[in-house]
Structure 1
Amino acid sequence: MRGRSFLVAASALSLAACAAGPPPEIATPAPVLPDSYLFAPDDQAGASLAALMPTGDAAFDTLAAQALASSPSLAEAAARVEQARAGANRAGAELLPNIGANASVTGTRTNPGSFGANLPPGISFDTERVSYAANLTASWDLDLFGRLKAQQRAALARVDAADASARAVRIALLSEIAASVIDWRTLEAREAEIRSDLASAENLARLSGVRERAGIAPGFDRVRAESSAASSRSRLSALGSERARLLGRLVTLTTQSGAQVQAALAQGKSEDATTLPPAAMPSALLVNRPDVLAAAATLAAEDAELAATARRRFPVFDLSGAIGLLTYGIGNLFDTDSLVGSLAATIAGPLFDFGRIEAEIEGAAAEKKAAFEAYRETVYTALGDVEAGYGLVAAADNEADAASAEAAQLQRAARLANTRYEAGLADFLTVLEARRAADASGERAAAALGRARRARVLLWQALGGSELS
């Protein structure tokens, strides 16, 4: 008995020695990140990350809630998470025994000639027999070398990747809605400024008409004033196409009808204030950005898959057993003699596979290398997004301040020119040139402020988003 056990153990060791070995080492050094961002504000200057979003706008709150409740992209991401969790549950179940049951009824008919023509006296057999069987079976892979455990680790990492990807979809959805709402409010502000320009131009045209009829000004002055009003009307009409595009975009994002989206947009109002962006450290990207987290989880999954593939070179130990009932008469099914059973232990492993497993290991190693490079690319993409986000906020703020100052100066110049004209101290051409310079300055200032608010949404997304109250 001891000799037989020794032979079994020696056979197992031989199989392991022929095929086993550690998986190849794939270097995955941590990406080198800078200590700070070039365009980031001072540590004490910034507000909270959530304050970068238009959470004070009732339209954004309503549309965001509708999108989170019924967005197809979010539902698809949630289904991917469920799929990954099902895979992890399956991988965990592979570590446990597999228990089954079966029952059968088998009829056989035997040709007497198969036993020869001359049987000993007193010996006979039934040529037709029916057997009844019921069995309880069990099998278990002992996983002595950890192949199944490595597959479970890979499946759990896939769940983490799916969770992070779902969060990335949510952040992208909220960012798109916020940007669209800001663009809508910017359109409203631009429309208000254009209507103000139009009112001023029409007032100037009326004054020119009065002076023309009084014979103290040529008709050309009225024509030039009316052309300025026509220009404002043209700019006002051009806003319609932008409004239609934004409405269609919000219909797609929120899965609501155009009427519902328009009703939601009618709730809020434009916000003129902009908050200072918060300071952040580049290292925070590794724990805040969902795409970085997803890439890291994918890398962990590929590492576990490589380990599992390498462990295929080790032998597999299986235990199996069965216990059941077997009888040739249905009435004797529960007799003591009907009880049957079996117990087996098997070992199987590759001996000479002519490079098949080695090729699979090389493929898994290449997958891990690709996952690592994808992770590095994602990290540096995130770093570039945040650098650009901070730079855009700073540049957009400067543009908004300059545009606002320009509009104030040009509007003041137009008012002074009009006052001098009414007092007879300036000619109509001076008034018209001042009015034309002032026209669209308010619209430019409104558009610049909208870009500044939109840049904050991009920064919010680049920093990994945050929970919105």
Structure 2
Amino acid sequence: MSRRHLLSGLSATALALAACAPVERPPAPSSIALPDAFALLDRQASASGTLPDLLPSQDPAFVALNARAMADAPELAIAVARIDAARAGLRGAGAERLPNITAGGDGSRRRISAAQFAGLPDGIEIQRYVSNFSASADASWDIDLFGRLRAGQRAAAARLDAATADAAAVRLALATDIARAVLDYRDLAGRTALVRDDLASADALAEVTGVRARAGIVPGFDLVRAQSLAAEAQSRLDAIAGERAAIIGRLVTLTGAPADTVLAALEPAQPVPAITPGLPTLEVPSVLLRRRPDVAAAERRLAAADADIAAAAAERFPTFSITGSIGLLALAFGDLFSEEAITGSLGGSIAGPLLDFGRIGARIDQREAEAREAFATYRRALFTALGETEAALGALDAAAKRAGALSRQAELDRDAAQLARERYRRGLDTFLTVLDAERTSYASRQSAITAQAEVARARVALYRAVGGEG
């Protein structure tokens, strides 16, 4: 056997072995096991897939501001632009599988010098001007026998799905952040009304104490304490203004709307949603959480990484292309469209790696590592969703119980404060007792208002943790 034949045989063997080498595919998303039920819920889950209304949808401010954000929020515009880019990438990947057809034409006129042909026999004339005109259409098509282009198209489609899921995650985040801000504003309004009531009560108490001090019934120090109680209530009222400005600023950022638009939407006063006893019924984690937008996006990126491995592996095989050309060629423009001017060709080609010194193998290794990262990212997203949902359920359960207890405590403390004021008017108790009862009553009533808002916020957090309505 000659050396040339030996080298050819060894190269063909190396090519065949490289083409048959296995690749490492990432595990399937379904290989990750989740529990049959959430810890705080019964093992029987709802099969309807519907989620109770956990957002403050009865509040006109939330409805208006959420609609504004879904139409014009800056963050959402970024996500939509990424969808458009991914959609263009998918169109490009699909176009790669179709024939590529180009067309062109040219014309030239050239003057020839007779000096180039010195020494020609007499009687031979040289044509001084030569014209050339041509037009052609060329086509080439990779028939994608081993699926490299098809794998690239699958990867592009998966990335478009991931971008769409990312946009859904942005919408979910916007809706829940706006809901929390609106609830914070309603909580602030409730606290403002409470402080104003306390301020009026403190002023009335200071007036009674002043009358009793001037009559010599109580020491003047009691009047100072009563006036201090009123000043304290006023300081709390002033502090609320700073919190209000922060909430308005947050809503401006979320909605992309000016402050006057936000304030107009918030103007009609609305109460914090009433406490709903018990926890909502949810689907099993393996169904519910895989629909969460960030989990869905991670799953589609895993699919794209898997398709990238297939595309890289297909580079080890030859590519088969069909090429064709049809054109017109003439020496005079008037003859360009005659039958004699027609030219054409049709052929095929095959090309494949022979000795690439590990380039393709390195790309395959890189794609396999990226797929392992994508699987780990998907697994992290899935268990993040599980952990956040478990935490949200626990927080909602605890917030509802705490709100009920604080509501009962606020009623008792309010009654105690009224009794202390009455006993003070009758001279049966000291002003220190009244002062302590007033401050205790205010603290418990404020805690009760905030606790009710915290239940509503916990419901919003649960809505976000489970991925919204899917």
Provide TM-score, normalisation by structure 2: 0.90
Tell whether the 8 Å contact from 1:52 to 1:277 is kept in structure 2 after alignment.
no
Aligned: 1:406 with 2:405:
no
One-letter amino acid matched to 1:205: A
Q: 1:124 to 1:306 in 2, by over 3 A?
A: farther
Judge conservation of contact 1:23–1:307 (CA < 8 Å) in 2.
Answer: no
1:343 is the counterpart of 2:346: yes
Q: Which moved more, 1:54-63 or 1:195-204?
A: 195-204
Cross-structure match for 2:99: 97
Q: 1:357 to 1:282 in 2, by over 3 A?
A: same
- Specify the alignment match of 1:161 in structure 2: 162
The answer to whether the Cα contact below 8 Å between 1:410 and 1:434 also exists between their aligned partners in 2 is yes
1:116-265 equivalence runs, <5 A = 126=127, 128-265=129-266
CA contact (8 A) 1:57 1:268 kept: no
Q: Is 2:447 aligned against 1:444?
A: yes
Distance 2:242 2:191 in 1: 14
Matching residue of 1:271? 272
Within a 5 Å distance, the mapping from 1:5-16 to structure 2 comes to: none
SS at structure 1 position matched to 2:315: helix
Match of 2:60 among 58, 61, 79: 58
Deviations along 1:408-463, one digit per CA (max 9) or x if unpaired, are 11111111222233344333333232223212221111111111111111110111
Which residue of structure 2 aligns with residue 366 of structure 1? 369
- In the alignment, what sits opposite 1:3? none
Amino acid paired to 1:33 = L
> How big is the shift at 1:124?
7.0
Aligned-partner SS, 1:321: strand
Distance 2:123 2:136 in 1: 34
Residue in 2 that maps onto 1:7: none
Q: Distance in 2 between matches of 1:200 and 1:334?
A: 102
Q: Tell which deviates more after alignment, 331-340 or 353-362.
A: 331-340
Q: How many residues align?
A: 457
Matched, 1:327 2:326: no
- 2:118, 2:40 → 1: CA distance? 99
| Residue in 2 that maps onto 1:299 | 302
1:49-107: CA deviation from partner (whole Å, max 9, x where unpaired): 35110000011111111111111111111111111111111111111111221111134
Superposed CA offset, 1:22-48 (max 9, x none): 551234152221111123368699996
Q: Compute the displacement of 1:330 (Å).
A: 1.1
Task: State the alpha-carbon separation in 2 of the partners of residues 237 and 340 from structure 1.
Answer: 89
Indicate if the aligned counterparts of 2:272 and 2:453 stay in contact, CA closer than 8 A. no
Partner in structure 2 of residue 83 of structure 1: 85
Matched residue of 1:26: which SS?
coil
Q: Aligned in 2, Cα 1:115/1:389: closer, same or farther, shift over 3 Å?
A: farther
Q: Distance in 1 between matches of 2:344 and 2:84?
A: 40
Q: CA deviation at 1:192?
A: 1.1
Segment drifting more, 421-430 vs 178-187:
421-430
Q: Secondary structure at the match of 1:164?
A: helix
Q: Supply the distance in 2 between the matched residues of 1:441 and 1:111 (Cα, whole angstroms).
A: 108
CA distance in 1, matches of 2:118, 2:39: 98
| Cα drift, residue 390 of structure 1 | 0.6
Any unmatched runs of 5+ in structure 1? 1-9
In the aligned structure 2, how far is the partner of 1:41 from the partner of 1:228? 49
Contact kept in structure 2, 1:23 and 1:306, CA below 8 Å: no
**What is the SS of the residue equivalent to 2:176?**
helix
> Which residue in the other structure is 2:418 paired with?
415
1:168-210 CA-to-partner distances (Å, cap 9, x unmatched) read 0000011110000000000011111111222222211111111
Structure 1 residue 18, shift from structure 2 partner: 5.8
Distance (Å, rounded) in 2 between the aligned partners of 1:110 and 1:278: 92
* TM-score, length-scaled by structure 1: 0.91
- SS in structure 1 at match of 2:53: helix
- CA distance in structure 2 between the aligned counterparts of 1:23 and 1:193, rounded to whole angstroms: 71
Query: Which region of structure 1 is more displaced relative to structure 2, 98-107 or 342-351?
Result: 98-107
Q: Is the 8 A contact 1:285 1:382 kept in 2?
A: no
Counterpart amino acid of residue 19 in structure 2: A
Q: Distance in 1 between matches of 2:116 and 2:350?
A: 37
Q: Secondary structure at the match of 2:20?
A: coil
Change in CA separation of 1:244 and 1:42 when aligned onto 2, cut-off 3 Å: farther
Residue type of the alignment partner of 2:375: F
Listed as ranges, the matches of 1:28-67 within 5 Å are: 28-29=27-28, 30-40=31-41, 49-67=51-69
Which residue in the other structure is 2:6 paired with?
none
**CA deviation digits over 1:241-299, x for unaligned, max 9?**
11110011111111111111111101241224023542222112444200000000000
Q: What amino acid sits opposite 1:265 in the alignment?
A: L
Which segments of 5 or more consecutive residues in structure 2 lack a partner in the other structure?
1-8
1:391 is matched with 394
> Partners of 2:36 and 2:177 in 1: how far apart?
30
Q: Secondary structure at the match of 2:134?
A: strand
Secondary structure of the 1:347 match is: strand
User: Which of 456, 462, 466 is equivalent to 1:463?
Assistant: 466
Aligned to 1:25: 24
Which residue pairs with 2:3 in the alignment?
A: none
Per the alignment, do residues 31 and 344 of structure 1 end up closer, same or farther by CA in structure 2, a change over 3 Å counting? same
| Secondary structure of the corresponding residue to residue 440 of structure 1 | helix
Give 3-state SS (helix, strand or coil) of 1:140's partner. Answer: strand
Distance 1:389 1:311 in 2: 46
Determine the structure 2 residue equivalent to 1:454: 457
Partner of 2:4: none
Whole-angstrom CA distance in 1 between matches of 2:465 and 2:125: 88
Q: Provide Cα deviations, 1:115-154, integer angstroms capped at 9, x if missing partner.
A: 89668x9987646422101112211111111111010100
Q: Distance in 1 between matches of 2:239 and 2:403?
A: 22
- Contact 1:162–1:294 (Cα < 8 Å) also in 2: yes
Provide the rounded CA distance (Å) in 2 between the counterparts of 1:208 and 1:26.
82
Mapped partners of 1:451, 1:42: distance in 2: 27
Decide whether aligned partners of structure 1 residues 98 and 116 sit closer, same or farther in structure 2, where only a CA change above 3 A counts: farther
Distance 2:300 2:349 in 1: 36
3-state SS of the aligned residue for 1:95? coil
CA contact (8 A) 2:37 2:45 kept: no
- Equivalent AA in structure 1 for residue 89 of structure 2: G
Which range moves more in the overlay, 123-132 or 303-312? Answer: 123-132
Of 422, 425, 428, the residue aligned with 1:425 is 428
Q: Is the 8 A contact 1:41 1:277 kept in 2?
A: no
